[in-house]
Structure 1
C-alpha cells in the first residue's frame, strides 16, 4: 500500500496554542482524507472550498448564538451531507450491489451520551437520525430497517433511495467492479475505496465538546460492511476534555480504537493534543497497514488535523470568526498563524 508522508503533516497536526479560552467557541471539520491531488479541476476545487466554508459558517452560527457543541456539529455535517462532493448523504458511494448504505454517529462530551446509525438507505441526513437516537431513545446504535422505522416515528426525513445517486459515484462503482473482475486493482484506486467521510468537532461557550461523523462507507463494500464512523470510540468520540472525528481506512481505526485512544492520551496521560493525534493517526495506524486522517479538539481550544495521505478536506473557525479551509497536504491550513 502506498503511503504518503510530507512535511505538511507537521503543520497539519499543530495545535492552536494559547489563543482561546475554554469559553471561546471553536469548530473544526473534515470532508475526508485520501488520494486528493492538485490535478482536481478548478471548478471542483472551488466547489469543495465553498462547501467547507458554508459548513463552518453554519456550525459556527450555532455556537455564536449560545447553542451547544452538538448543535454546531449537527449543523456543519448536514451541510456536507447535502453536498454531492463528499462521501456522505447525497454524495455517498455505492455498495457492490449498487445501493447506498449510510452510517453516522454523534457524541456529547459533557454527558457521554451518544447516538449512531448504520446501514440506512432512505435517511436524507444520517447525522440527524444519529442525533435523534441520542436524544430520543435509550439506545446508542440502531441499524438498517429498524433505524429507518425509528426515523419515521421521530420525524427524521426519509427520501427515495434514488436521491443519493450521483453519476460520479456510479461510475466509481463500475470501475471498481471491473477491477474486481480483472483482479488487478490499481494501488491508488484500491486505497481510495476506503476513504470519504465527513465530520466535525466543536467546543461551545460553556466549555463542552462534541464530535460527529457521517459516511457512505467504502466504494464496492459488501456483506453489510460497517466501518469506524458510527462506532463510538473508533471513528467518533468526545468526552469533557477531547473530541475527535476520523477519516480513513476504517478497519484500522476500529482495531486501534483510534478516537478513544487519542482522547485518553489527552485526558488521562496529559499528552498534548497535537502529539496524541499524530502518534495514533501517523504512527500506530500506518504501522498496521492503514492510513487516513482526523480532526481533534481539546477543552482549551487546541486543534489537531493530522493525516498521512495526499490531502484531507479540512477547515476550522475560531475566535476571529473567519473560516479557514484547506485541501492538499502541502497547503497551509492556517493553524500556524493562529498560534
Structure 2
C-alpha cells in the first residue's frame, strides 16, 4: 500500500533513497540502523510541524538529519565520482509561491540542503554550481566541513568495486550503488507544501554529472495547488520525463488523484524507459503517496498523532517502536 489519507492535520513523508540493499544481504543490525535513521529524520520534521512551523522548515530539518547520517547517500554519506571526489546536489521548493533554490557539484557545506535554501532566500537565482556555489555558501556563513568528515569506508569501497566492474566490462546490478538520494515533502498546518531533495549522485559518476535532484520539476517540486514531490532513482530518466512536475500536471490538468498520478508516472512512464526508482509525494489535502519500481525504498511518514512509520521493502509502513 503506497497511498495514505489525512485529515486536516500536518503530514510529512521522507525517503532515504530507492535502490536499497537487497533483502538477502541486509543484516538485522543494519536494517535496524536504517529504521532508526529514518525515525530521527521524521522526528526532526515532526517537531517543527507540531509546533506550528512551516513545511519548508520541516523538510529542511528532516533532510539535514539524513545528510548527517552516513548510511544515506547525501552529505556525510555521499558517494564518490570516478575521480574519487564527492560532488553533492540539493534543492528546496516552497509551494506557496514556487520559490526554489538548488546547488550542484559542491563538497564542503555540511548540509547541502541549507546551501540550496540559501540560494533560494538570498540570491536572485535558482541554481548555483561548483566553486561559485561554494563561494556563495562561504559568504552566507554556512557551516563547512573538511573532506575527512564526508569520508566513509563503505562509499570508498563501493567506488573501487564499481571501477573494477567497469574495467572488466561487468554490469553493476547493485541498485544501491547506481542511485541513492534523500528527500522530504510536507504539508503544514497552514496548508502550505514544500519539498527538499539532497544527494551524492551515482557511484563512479563522471565528474560534473548532475542528476535530477537539483533540477526543479524533475527531482523536486512543490506547488500549493497540487502537491510536493521528491524523487530518487535514475536521474537522467527522471529529468527527461520531468517526473516531479508530470505528477503535478496530471493532477492539475487531468484531474487525477495524487496516488493515480504518482503511480502512473513511476510505474507506467519511468519504469518502461529504464527509470528505476521512486518518489514521495503529499498533496494539499494531506494525502501521501510513496510508489517505487525497484527492490525497495527507504521511506517514512509521520502525522499529527506523532507515530513514526517507516519501511524499506515492499511492505506496509510500520511503527517499529511500538508492539
Query: Shorter chain as normaliser: what TM range?
Result: over 0.9
Residues of 2 paired with 1:214 and 1:152: CA distance? 19
Residues of 2 paired with 1:199 and 1:80: CA distance? 8
1:316 to 301, 314, 317: 301
The aligned counterpart of 2:198 is 214
Shift of residue 269, structure 1, vs aligned partner: 2.2
The aligned counterpart of 2:15 is 30
The aligned counterpart of 1:307 is 292
Counterparts in 2 of 1:323 and 1:232: CA distance versus 1, 3 Å: same
Shift of residue 52, structure 1, vs aligned partner: 0.5
1:134 to 120, 123, 133: 120
Determine if contact 2:110/2:144 at 8 Å carries over to the other structure: yes
The aligned counterpart of 1:7 is none
Residues of 1 paired with 2:177 and 2:318: CA distance? 29
Determine if contact 1:36/1:327 at 8 Å carries over to the other structure: no
Residues of 1 paired with 2:129 and 2:151: CA distance? 21
TM-score (normalised: structure 1): 0.91
The aligned counterpart of 2:211 is 227
The aligned counterpart of 1:162 is 148
Structure 2 residue 281 is the aligned partner of structure 1 residue 296:
yes
More deviation, 33-42/202-211: 33-42
Structure 2 residue 42 is the aligned partner of structure 1 residue 56:
yes
Q: Please, which runs of 5 or more residues in structure 2 have no aligned partner? A: none
Residues of 2 paired with 1:227 and 1:278: CA distance? 21
Residues of 1 paired with 2:263 and 2:21: CA distance? 20
Structure 2 residue 7 is the aligned partner of structure 1 residue 20:
yes
The aligned counterpart of 1:268 is 253
The aligned counterpart of 1:239 is 223
Give the 4+ runs in structure 1 shifted more than 4 A.
Answer: none
Residues of 1 paired with 2:67 and 2:118: CA distance? 16
Structure 2 residue 34 is the aligned partner of structure 1 residue 45:
no
Shift of residue 36, structure 1, vs aligned partner: 3.1
1:251 to 236, 240, 265: 236
TM-score (normalised: structure 2): 0.96
**RMSD (Å), alpha carbons:** 1.2
Residues of 2 paired with 1:264 and 1:118: CA distance? 26
Residues of 1 paired with 2:108 and 2:137: CA distance? 10
For the residue of structure 2 that corresponds to 1:316, the secondary structure is strand
For the residue of structure 1 that corresponds to 2:178, the secondary structure is coil
Shift of residue 309, structure 1, vs aligned partner: 0.9
Q: Please, which runs of 5 or more residues in structure 1 have no aligned partner? A: 1-10
Shift of residue 334, structure 1, vs aligned partner: 5.1
Determine if contact 2:191/2:284 at 8 Å carries over to the other structure: yes
Residues of 1 paired with 2:254 and 2:188: CA distance? 24
Residues of 2 paired with 1:110 and 1:174: CA distance? 44
